[in-house]
Amino acid sequence: MLRKVLGVLAFVSMFGFAVSISFAFYYFVLMLRNLKPEHKITANFLAPIAFFLPHLWNQSGNMARIKFLISILLCLLFLCAIALAFALAPRS
């Protein structure tokens, strides 16, 4: 019984991961399209932390940035669920 429940959890988590990574990719591209023109050089230098700087983006870029960060957090949540399902699976 436990093996079936964990198998379903792993399958649902893998599907959720695929969906959330697709949304993250879409919102990342949308975010990059909405960079303010005066901050294009600044964004290149601050690329690793640019997701946390709201003044680099216009209004729709900020909305895409927030949705991107939420999608990435969902990806991490689904990866943790997959790891938990495989860690708790009984060994035969």
Give residue-wise pLDDT tens across range 15-66.
999 999 999 999 999 998 999 989 888 888 888 888 888 999 999 999 999 9
Q: What is the pLDDT of residue 25?
A: 97
Residue 75: pLDDT above 90? Answer: yes
Q: What is the pLDDT of residue 16?
A: 95
Q: What is the pLDDT of residue 82?
A: 92
Overall average pLDDT of the 4-19 stretch: 92
Contacts 24+ apart (CB under 8 A), 25-28: 27/64, 27/65, 27/67, 27/68, 27/71, 28/64, 28/68
Domain that holds residue 80: 2-42+50-88
Residue 6: pLDDT above 90? Answer: no
Range of weakest confidence among 14-23, 62-71, 80-89: 80-89
38 contacts 4 by C-beta, under 8 angstroms? no
Please give the Cα distance from 50 to 54 (Å, whole number).
Answer: 8
Q: How many domains does the chain fold into?
A: 1
State which H helix or E strand residue 38 sits in. none
Maximal C-alpha separation, the chain: 60
